[in-house]
Structure 1
Amino acid sequence: MFYDQAKIYVKGGDGGNGVASFRREKYVPEGGPNGGDGGSGGNVIFIGDEGLRTLVDFRYQRHYKAERGEHGMGKNMHGRNGEDMTVKVPIGTVVKDAETNALIADITSHNQKVIVAKGGRGGRGNAKFVSSVNRAPTISENGEPGAERWLELELKVLADVGLVGFPNVGKSTIISAVSAAKPKIANYHFTTLEPNLGVVRLGEGQSFVMADIPGLIEGAHAGAGLGHDFLRHTERTRFLIHVLDISGSEGRDPLEDFDAINKELALYKPDLAEKPMVVAANKMDLPGAEGNLERLREKLGDEHLIFPVSAATTQGLEPLLWHVYHGLEAMGPVVFETVTAEKHMDVRVTGKKEERFRIDRDEEGTFVVSGAEVERHVAMTNFENEESVTRLQRILDRMGVDQALRDVGAKHGDQVRIRELEFDFVEFGGDYAPDPDEADNEE
């Protein structure tokens, strides 16, 4: 079975926790803070591998999580960074965010690396929180959680040439005749249920990759039959060979077939109809082929070059292949635009205060504060340390969370939730004055 779609979960490693520690040595009665930082979590990295052909591996393993960073230690010893998790994917894999459908990456070359889930940074130890007014801080941070998301993987076959046409017109026979590919061939529709790739070798250093795109039908652009599953594979090809049953052995008119398939390509994606195309008038060894060939020539004129061929006897295939090869040579090497994951992940809102977080209210009346920045501060707070909790209160006030809660109607004693943290909204009865030294340590 050819697996060309998959949905998986990825998570970067959490950062290690920082530690609160003080120097304790003989003859050093007032040793300063020496708590080390936690290590950063590992990233989940996709690597293009030209040896893979399908996404079948993701059918059996759907969760991928990188290693977390080690916790910091005393004597200013930092934790070790977590190991990256590398995942091999076939060339031609498109990676999208499953929730937003945003494009994250397009894997188009061997050994191309893309970070799809970034690891969290390590929390800082108390040695990093020394200030002019606090020479012995007990604050330490928890590690930042690693990024996590569900991904949609979609494989689009990378081939130079695509064979398109109705079912049972001879595409599989052609690719088996000109390459080492051995597709299943039988005299019924949809014998081919997956794209077949074959390398066509014409001479020393003269070759190209051909894909047998499974048979299309009318309405394929709208998903009829197996349309969407297969039309995507035509997007990667640079050259199309439109295969027609010129003998009409299936009871269809080859001229009508030609118009129908071209219409499906244009409706699916208009630029597909603009790709260079030649026509392979197949089954020339059958009765009725000569008459239909003349009709096709009259219809197309100089619009498309027609090659009369017989895949069963290999008649006419060599001139067709050489024409396609020279056409590819004239186009030059293919260059795919590569979109990196960094452009689409770990985006934090900056600028206006009201854009840094949002406040909603759930069915029970609890005020829910959400946003990447505010959730990150909560996740990295050590709630077992009073000084760390006080620092979080200062940060939320500086971000404008307290005032925003008042603006939406929060009263003293109302429930507020940020991530898993739930607390009562407290009014202190006066303006809150944050610690001016906190600005140096907040980020």
Structure 2
Amino acid sequence: MNNIDPAYSAFRSRRRGRRAMAMLAVGIITAALAACGNEESDVPTINLYYAPEQNLRQVVADCNVEANGRYRIVHRVLPRGADDQRTQMVRRLAAEDTSMDVLGLDITWTPEFASAEWIREWTGEHRARAEEGTLAAPLRSAEYQNRLYAAPKNTNVQLLWYRADVVDEPPQTWDDMINTALELRAAGEPYQIMTMGAQYEGLVVLFNTLVESAGGHILNEESDEVVIDQGAVRALSLLHRFATAGVTSPSFSNATEDDVRLAFQSGTGAFQLNWPYVYPAMQNDAPQLAENVRWARFPRVNPGIPSRVTIGGFNLAVSAYSEHPDEAFEAALCLRSPEHQKFSAINDGVPPTIESVYDDPAMAEAYPMKDVILAELRDAAVRPRTPAYQNVSTVISVILSPPSDIQPTETAARLRDEIALALESRGVLPG
């Protein structure tokens, strides 16, 4: 040891010093990372289960900034199909999955989820903020037994789209529209009235709109007894006349939304009854046709009585099994705030549920038809608000398909009998 070079000894001493400093630095970094990990684990994760929406990630990011560390929203993307979305959520909620916090519900599911006690009631300040400025029809879709169980995030209504190069003015009533189409056909002009008639929810929406516009009802106010009154019989008569007058496309009884959009873009239709998404699609896919297409309010059933158009849309509910309900309510309110509803309307084509948003100048370019949409929303109809809606909808779509086979009095009697069974969850398999 006495023969060790002093220079080498000094080198080893410096190396031991550097090693000690390095170990100290590693320890500091490790402790810091552990602290950060603990800090992040203390921030509640709010899992948002919602349908695919292209720009929702930006809304989520904005809300996470606004949360300022109180919680962090994570978007768990549901399948694209509505049935698949519902199935996934029903199974997980039935298993009391605590990882579910905020749920994006199709507006027809609110009563079902509320009656099963899968979602929490909105009360107090949370309810007041959800109701403030919200249009009445979307708000009704979020209620069950006079209690609020969700906050409406977006809504939708169908409009009448018509060829201004074929007709000078949009028809005001269904009878006017059918008669105009017959005159156009006789003159060799594009004449078809295109809308959804396949055996699915689109046909149920059409029937519900006709019933409500005729002043009728499918169920009573409490949605626990079947009605099918004279207004409903009038709707059946009109639907049968429409299907057999020779003014529909040959594929009417098999047509869904996109079938209708594409058929109208082919140029054979004079009228289209469909959702507002057809407008940007037409601008992109058929710009020459789009130059001559205008929009108007959905036709009336009875002259002098405004149409009552069935709404679509999504509501935000808070899971009964969420371990962070306060944060979940706050997150839901942020996701459907006026500024975020405007963002989603402009960027994802989902009309707002908060009335004041329609007055924002930024809405004008994306929604040149916003005034007509808002007018319909003020008089809009909702579908039957029953926990057995899936069964009721299935029964209606089966009985009304194809619409050309409707016999108003007999079909009304059959609807009364089979909807009554559906309300008891009998007669069809639950969805």
Q: TM-score normalised to the size of structure 2?
A: 0.19
Which of the two has greater helix per residue?
A: 2
Which of the two has greater strand per residue?
A: 1
Greater gyration radius: 1
Q: TM-score normalised to the size of structure 1?
A: 0.19
Highest relative contact order (Cα 8 Å, sep 6+), 1 or 2?
2
